Amino acid sequence: FDILASEAKSSDANKTLRDKSQWEKQLMQASDELSKLIPHASNLILVEDNLIGKDIIQGRDIKLFLESDGKYHGCPADGDEAIKEFKRLHTVGAEYIAFAWPAFWWLDYFSEFQQYLRSKFRCILQNETLVVFDLRP
């Protein structure tokens, strides 16, 4: 049993390292893509489930979705609340909205929010780490 327990611990440790390595790779990819895609000094709404943070790129005004007083406030109760909060941020100058991979589930769960964004704005990037919409006219 000691040998099996030792192998199981080793396997768990290797999985943890692989998962951490994958996370770091995705984070670097998302950071690089956002840095290239979002012009310096632009206003960006970032949907990331409080797992990435505003430091993913520098030189942009980033609002976490949903945030209150500059801090992550959790996800909306429903799609209508998501659309209402999005409209508020868009009205005060948001130029882009980016969904990072940890929050991709929002696009399915809040399907009316996704439909709203896709019907009104151009999706400028969609891959395994990001979905980004350009909110400018």
Query: Angle, nearest 10°, between helix axes 111-120 and 79-91?
Result: 40
| C-alpha to C-alpha distance for 76 and 82, rounded to whole angstroms | 6
Convert the pLDDT of each residue in 2-44 to its tens digit: 555 555 555 565 666 678 889 999 999 999 999 999 999 999 9
Is the bond preceding 66 in cis, omega lying within 30 degrees of 0? yes
Convert the pLDDT of each residue in 78-109 to its tens digit: 999 999 999 999 999 999 999 999 999 999 99
- pTM value? 0.86
pLDDT score of 135 more than 70 = yes
The set of residues, in sequence order, having a beta carbon less than 8 Å from that of 57 and lying 6+ positions away, is: 31, 34, 35, 38, 44
| C-alpha to C-alpha distance for 50 and 34, rounded to whole angstroms | 17
CA-closest candidate to residue 43, choices 76, 11, 65: 65
DSSP H helices, the chain, are 2-37, 79-91, 105-109, 111-120
